[in-house]
């Protein structure tokens, strides 16, 4: 297996490292290179979750085969490098969907497990790992089948790759009506209006775009999208576009972002609207813009994502006030209601509200995010490690109460700590066993 030295970055492009990368094409190849102790990653997490400066990495995206599918139970056995969007493309016309899908279809099954991702239906169906029945891991060059419910399973789901390389997994797909989405969009005039509608929604899928620049009476305004799968005439998908170069610094200046957000809010009529969309356009709206991360310029960006308990909604409102006053927010800001579901010791989801906001990588952004992280900790919430690049070890340890359980399992699976990444070292996640 050939190794190639490359400069590697997370999706946020703010952190970079140099690593030797291998791209295995068969399970036997994966076992061979995994024995050398590299980390595995598709580099769709935003920060340094899969970076390994000076070490080795595996890009497993060529391991993307469907191994078996049971039409009765909906159990799909699939290699870990398969993109979740490809599963949706193939199985939605047959009446099946992954139970949980993140905001990008380029995320792999292995990455979805390693971060226990959530989607637009977390309030109803929980996290990705709750629909995984079995994981095949590679440890010390040997395969090991891990069943749901075991300690090793709970340490692998949301385990950031620290228990071994994921070779394949069995997922329980859910029935759907087809590969069309019936989507209703409504304007939300402010924070209280938004939360009231999120709480009252009975839709299977809900997600909110929020205007993170709005202040005063308009604070927290945005657009609530509610979706249901459907069947029928599939509208023509939007053509993919690419961002050919890094955007200039002024592209996300305060006046431009504010004007864009105002126009985006008004694109939905005051009385709301319902439309039919291809399933990919609803679940993965940004995937049609390849390399959209270049819109933040060559210095990249950071995403802050937190979740706070239901009763701490005022703390989230206060965060929005801080963000709006900073003048740093981008047009990408998302608000969702989450349920209680999670599957791993280090899972991010908890019952509450989650807010995600992108910030261009500037000195002021680091200070702002540190303040937001402190507010999150004080509210009894969590920050999402799949998006993090800046948090401190002390803060993360305070947010994840099952850390020691995870550390014990990770230490048994990888006693030499050969699977550590830039993130686990920065956050000292493996330091206590």
Measured distance CA(221)–CA(411) in Å, rounded: 46
Tell me the mean pLDDT in the region 228-236. 77
Q: How confident is the model at residue 246 (pLDDT cuts 50, 70, 90)?
A: confident
| Reported confidence tier of residue 243, pLDDT bands at 50, 70, 90 | low
Over residues 152-192, the pLDDT tens digits come to 999 999 999 999 999 999 999 999 998 899 999 999 999 99
Query: Is the Cβ–Cβ distance between 167 and 137 less than 8 Å?
Result: yes
Note whether residue 336 is domain-resident. Answer: yes
Q: Decide if 269 is inside a domain.
A: yes
Q: Lowest-confidence range among 7-16, 23-32, 368-377?
A: 23-32
Q: Is 232 exposed, middle or buried (0-12, 13-18, 19+ CB in 10 A)?
A: exposed
Tokens in use for 102? 């993140």
Q: Is residue 300 part of a domain?
A: yes
The residue length of the chain stands at: 433
CA-to-CA distance for 186 and 271, rounded, in angstroms? 7
Beta bridge partners of 261: none
Range of the domain at 359: 180-396
CATH assignment at residue 219: 3.30.70.2520
pLDDT tens readout for residues 381-401: 999 999 999 999 999 999 999
Residues 16-29 pLDDT 10s = 999 999 898 988 88
∠ CA 389-19-115, nearest 5°, is 40
Report the C-alpha gap between 306 and 352 in whole angstroms. Answer: 10
pLDDT of residue 234: 65
Q: Measure the CA–CA gap between 366 and 300, rounded to whole angstroms.
A: 13
Let me know if residue 149 belongs to a domain.
Answer: no
> Within a domain: residue 316?
yes
Identify the pLDDT of residue 235.
61
Within a domain: 268: yes
Q: What pLDDT was estimated at residue 433?
A: 52
Note whether residue 381 is domain-resident. Answer: yes
Q: How many domains does the chain have?
A: 1
Are the beta carbons of 71 and 35 closer than 8 angstroms? Answer: no
Region 408-427: mean pLDDT is 94
Token digits for 87?
Answer: 């599963």
According to the 3-state scheme, what is the secondary structure of the chain? CCCEEEEEECCCCCCEEEEEEECCCCHHHHHHHHCCCCEECCCCCCCCCCCCCCCEEECCCCCCCEEEECCCCCEEEEECCCEHHHHHHHHHHHCEECCCCCCCCCCEHHHHHHHCCCCCCHHHHCCHHHHEEEEEEEECCEEEEEECCCHHHHHHCCCCCCCCEEEEEEEECEECCCCEEEEEEEEECCHHHHHHHHHHCCCCEEEEEECCCCCHHHCCCEEEEEEEEECCCCCCCCCCEECCCCCCHHHHCHHHHHHHHHHHHHCCCCCCEEEEEEHHHHHCCCCCEECHHHHHCCCCEEEEEEEECHHHHHHHHHHHHHHHHHCCCCCCEEEEEECCCCCCCCCCCCCEEEEEEEEECCHHHHHHHHHHHHHHHHCCCEECCCCCCCCCHHHHHHHCCCHHHHHHHHHHHCCCCCCCCHHHHHCCCCCCC
At CB < 8 A and 24+ separation, what contacts does 393-399 make? 393/426, 393/427, 393/428, 393/429, 393/431, 396/427, 396/429, 397/427, 397/428
* Alpha-carbon gap, residue 190 to 215, rounded angstroms: 9
Q: Phi and psi of 175, rounded to 5°? A: -65, 145
Separation CA 23–CA 33 (nearest Å)? 9
Averaged pLDDT for residues 117-146: 95
How confident is the prediction for the chain on average, in pLDDT? 92
The whole-number average pLDDT for the span 408-424 is: 94
**Are residues 82 and 62 in contact, defined by beta-carbon separation less than 8 angstroms?**
no
Q: How far apart are the first and last CA of the chain?
A: 34
pLDDT reported for residue 292 = 87
**Span 308-365, pLDDT tens digits:** 999 999 999 999 999 999 988 789 899 999 999 899 999 999 999 999 999 999 989 9
Cα separation of 304 and 390, whole Å? 9
Q: Is residue 48 part of a domain?
A: no
pLDDT band at residue 2 under the 50/70/90 scheme = confident
Please check whether residue 64 is in contact with residue 83, taking contact to mean a CB–CB distance below 8 angstroms.
yes
């Amino acid at each position: 297996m050939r190794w190639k030295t490359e400069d590697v970055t997370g999706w946020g492009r703010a952190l970079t490292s140099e690593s030797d990368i291998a791209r295995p094409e068969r399970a036997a190849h994966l076992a061979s290179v995994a024995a050398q102790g590299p980390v595995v990653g598709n580099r769709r997490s935003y920060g340094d979750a899969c970076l390994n400066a000076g070490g080795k990495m595996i890009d497993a995206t060529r391991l993307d085969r469907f191994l078996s599918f049971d039409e009765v139970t909906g159990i799909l056995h699939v290699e870990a490098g398969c993109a979740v969007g490809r599963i949706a493309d193939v199985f939605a016309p047959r009446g099946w969907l992954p139970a949980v899908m993140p905001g990008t279809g380029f995320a792999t099954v292995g990455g979805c497990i390693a971060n226990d991702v959530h989607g637009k239906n977390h309030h109803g169906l929980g996290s990705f790992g709750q629909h995984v029945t079995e994981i095949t891991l590679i440890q010390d060059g040997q395969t090991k089948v891990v069943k749901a419910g075991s300690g090793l399973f709970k340490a692998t789901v949301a385990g950031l790759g620290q228990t071994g390389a994921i070779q394949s997994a069995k997922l329980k797909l859910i029935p759907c009506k087809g590969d069309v989405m019936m989507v209703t969009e409504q304007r939300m005039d402010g924070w209280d209006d938004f939360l009231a509608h999120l709480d009252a929604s009975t839709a299977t899928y809900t997600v909110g775009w929020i205007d993170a620049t709005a202040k005063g009476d308009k604070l927290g305004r945005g657009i609530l999208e509610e979706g249901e799968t459907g069947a029928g005439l599939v509208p023509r998908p939007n053509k993919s576009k690419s961002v050919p170069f890094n955007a200039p610094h002024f592209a996300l200046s305060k006046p431009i972002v504010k004007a864009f957000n105002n126009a985006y809010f008004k694109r939905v009529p005051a009385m709301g609207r319902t439309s039919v969309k291809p399933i990919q356009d609803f679940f993965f709206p940004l995937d049609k813009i390849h390399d959209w991360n270049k819109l933040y310029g060559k210095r990249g960006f950071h995403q802050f994502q937190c979740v706070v308990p239901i009763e701490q909604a005022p703390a989230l409102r206060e965060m929005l006030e801080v963000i709006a006053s900073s003048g740093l927010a981008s047009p990408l800001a998302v608000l969702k209601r989450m349920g209680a579901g999670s599957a791993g010791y280090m899972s991010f989801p908890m019952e509450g509200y989650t807010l995600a906001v992108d910030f261009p990588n500037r000195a002021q952004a680091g200070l702002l995010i540190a303040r937001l992280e402190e507010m999150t900790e004080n509210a009894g919430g969590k920050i999402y490690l799949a998006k993090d690049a800046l948090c401190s070890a002390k803060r993360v340890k305070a947010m994840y109460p099952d850390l020691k359980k995870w550390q014990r399992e990770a230490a048994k699976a990888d006693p030499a700590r050969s699977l550590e990444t830039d993130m686990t070292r920065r956050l000292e996640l493996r330091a206590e066993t």
